[in-house]
Structure 1
Amino acid sequence: MSIKAITQLLERLIEVHEHLLELATKKVEPIKKGDMKVLEAIVREESKLAHKLQTTEMLRSKIVRTFLLEQGEAKEAVTMSDVKRFATAEEKLQLEQLQRKLVDDVQKLKTQNELNQELIEESLRFVNLSLDLMLPHKEDVSYNPRSQDDEPYENNHSLFDSKA
């Protein structure tokens, strides 16, 4: 394994994150409009990308471990610093740039997803408020012209005398 294989996988991870960010940004309007068909299509595409991201990350982890084993380093939890120790100055610079880009993209994606979550919660609050306004309340359901003191059923007494 080589540093080049690791950088290629980092580039692929960045690519997937950028596509996820693009989709997260596209979700804003369908959420605002309540366009479930468009939203469903975006979520399906996100799901495919999430699977691709998971597979790519597992492959990256495996390649980094293999690379470090070849260098005589056997660690369970590896970091980019571990890889950079065996890289040339040029490779180290490239790894640092890719790492910064990936961290930046992940942060942007997190921020956009938080915004989308807030929009969804706001939409749900609006729907609940609308339902509360449209549905009658218990006291509005029936008309009671008499006061509650006049209610014959209050003490579970029947209008008919069962002893007669």
Structure 2
Amino acid sequence: MSVRNIIESLEKLIKLHKSFNQLAIRKTDLLKANDTEAITELLIQEQKHMKAISQTDKDREGAVAEFLHASGKAGQPASIHTVTELTGPIETEKLARLKGELIEEVAKLKERNSLNQQLIYQSLQFINVSLDMFRPRNQNLNYGNPVKKPAKSGMAMFDSKA
């Protein structure tokens, strides 16, 4: 088995993450515009991307496992570092570059998702404040002390015989 399948899987993962980042940027704009219908549609697209990324990652793991098995290193951890120890300088350089690109795309996605999460949280705070303004409050609208319960007749507040 060649390292080509691993490289193709990494390239596909990078492509999917770039597309996912574009969706996250679009989501930021939709959150700012408060377009809930478009956000719902976008969430469906995000779920499709997540499934594709998950499947591609499984394919990559399988390709790495097959490569390590074919190289006689089946017991070693399935990582890019392990693969690069078994490849030539050209493949090693390409794998390192692809790994860097993938890490960069994931970092961008993480940053954008953090921003979107903050926007959603602020929107929820605004909604809660707005709802609090419309909720009725139980307030004593009269001046003075609140009404006290009348004492029972025949009993004093203090029993002097005790």
Q: Where on the TM-score scale, by shorter chain, does this alignment land: which range?
A: 0.7 to 0.9
Q: In the alignment, which residue of structure 2 is the partner of 1:118?
A: 118
The Cα offsets for residues 104-162 of structure 1, whole Å up to 9 and x where unpaired, read as 000000000000000000110111111112222121xx75588633x7xx46x9xxxxx
- Cα distance between partner residues in 1 of 2:76 and 2:92: 22
- Cα distance between partner residues in 1 of 2:16 and 2:49: 7
Aligned 8 A contact 2:76 2:82 in 1: no
Once the two structures are TM-superposed, the CA of residue 77 in structure 1 deviates from its matched residue by: 2.9
Q: Which amino acid aligns with 2:95?
A: L
- Cα distance between partner residues in 2 of 1:110 and 1:145: 55
TM-score, normalization: structure 1? Answer: 0.85
User: Which segments of 5 or more consecutive residues in structure 1 lack a partner in the other structure?
Assistant: 158-164
User: Which segments of 5 or more consecutive residues in structure 2 lack a partner in the other structure?
Assistant: 153-162
TM-score, normalization: structure 2? Answer: 0.86
- Cα distance between partner residues in 2 of 1:35 and 1:138: 35
- Cα distance between partner residues in 1 of 2:138 and 2:51: 48
- Cα distance between partner residues in 2 of 1:68 and 1:147: 82
Once the two structures are TM-superposed, the CA of residue 79 in structure 1 deviates from its matched residue by: 1.2
- Cα distance between partner residues in 1 of 2:77 and 2:130: 51
Aligned 8 A contact 2:24 2:109 in 1: yes
Identity over aligned pairs, percent: 30
- Cα distance between partner residues in 1 of 2:121 and 2:77: 37
1:137 aligns with 2:133: no
The Cα offsets for residues 44-73 of structure 1, whole Å up to 9 and x where unpaired, read as 000001001111101110110010010000
Q: Which amino acid aligns with 1:110?
A: K
Q: How many residues align?
A: 152
Q: In the alignment, which residue of structure 2 is the partner of 1:34?
A: 34
What CA RMSD, in Å, does the superposition of the two structures yield over aligned residues?
2.0
Aligned 8 A contact 2:13 2:53 in 1: yes
Aligned 8 A contact 1:31 1:39 in 2: yes
Q: In the alignment, which residue of structure 1 is the partner of 2:157?
A: none
Q: Which amino acid aligns with 2:21?
A: L
Aligned 8 A contact 1:32 1:123 in 2: no
Q: Which amino acid aligns with 1:3?
A: V
1:148 is paired with a residue of what secondary structure? coil
Q: In the alignment, which residue of structure 1 is the partner of 2:54?
A: 54
Q: In the alignment, which residue of structure 2 is the partner of 1:84?
A: 84
Q: In the alignment, which residue of structure 2 is the partner of 1:148?
A: 146
Q: Which amino acid aligns with 1:137?
A: R
- Cα distance between partner residues in 2 of 1:91 and 1:146: 84
Once the two structures are TM-superposed, the CA of residue 37 in structure 1 deviates from its matched residue by: 0.5
Once the two structures are TM-superposed, the CA of residue 74 in structure 1 deviates from its matched residue by: 1.5
